[in-house]
Amino acid sequence: MKLSHVHLKVRDRDVSVPFYLQLFDLEVTEQVGGFAFLGDGKTHHVVALQELGEGAPAPAPFGVGLYHVAFEVETEEELRGFLARAEGLGLDPVLVDHGISWAAYFPDPDGNGLEVFLDRRAVVGSTWVGRTRRLVLS
C-alpha cells in the first residue's frame, strides 16, 4: 500500500490552483464542478482541491486534524529551487533543521499546513532524536 493523494478543501479554486501549480510544479489533470485535480506527470493527481466558497471557516490551528501535508525533494538543489519559488510568491517559510531532515513549513492560501523537506538520514543517521532548530542555508 502507498499514499496516493491528498484532498484539501479551499475557499477559492481560482486562487489555490495557481498557487499549487507554481509552487509544486504540478499540472491540472481535470476540473469538474468545484474540484481540481493536480498531477505530477506520473499520476492523475497527487492533490485534489475542493472549493467550498469564500465563507468557509479556516482550519482550527489547535484542534484535532491534519497538521500538514509534506512533499519530499531529493536534493539540496531542489530544496533551494522550491525556496526561490516560494519567495517569488511572497511566502516566508519557516526553515527547520530536524537533523534527519531539512524542512520548510508554510500555509497555503487557506491556512492548510504544508511542508517541503529534504531527507538527510543517509548523511546524519536514521534516528530522529527530537532535534528541531532553525535552519540557515547559506
pLDDT per position as a tens digit, 80-109: 999 999 999 999 999 999 989 999 999 999
Exposure on the CB side of residue 136, measured as CA atoms within 13 A: 1
Instruction: Note whether 94 and 125 are same-domain residues.
Output: yes
Instruction: Note whether 48 and 80 are same-domain residues.
Output: no
pLDDT at 95: 96
What total number of domains does the chain contain?
2
The answer to whether residue 61 is domain-embedded is no
Predicted confidence (pLDDT) at residue 130 exceeds the cutoff of 90 = no
CATH number at residue 81: 3.10.180.10
Note the pLDDT tens digit of each residue in 35-81. Answer: 999 999 999 999 999 999 999 998 887 888 888 999 999 999 999 99
With 0.85 as the threshold, say if the pTM is over it. Answer: yes
What's the Cα-to-Cα distance from 104 to each of 43, 53, 65, 86, 95, rounded to whole Å?
Answer: 25, 28, 20, 10, 5
Predicted confidence (pLDDT) at residue 124 exceeds the cutoff of 80 = no
Predicted confidence (pLDDT) at residue 135 exceeds the cutoff of 80 = yes
pLDDT at 133: 87
The answer to whether residue 132 is domain-embedded is yes
Predicted confidence (pLDDT) at residue 129 exceeds the cutoff of 90 = no
Which residue range(s) make up the domain with 25?
1-54
Instruction: Note whether 94 and 136 are same-domain residues.
Output: yes
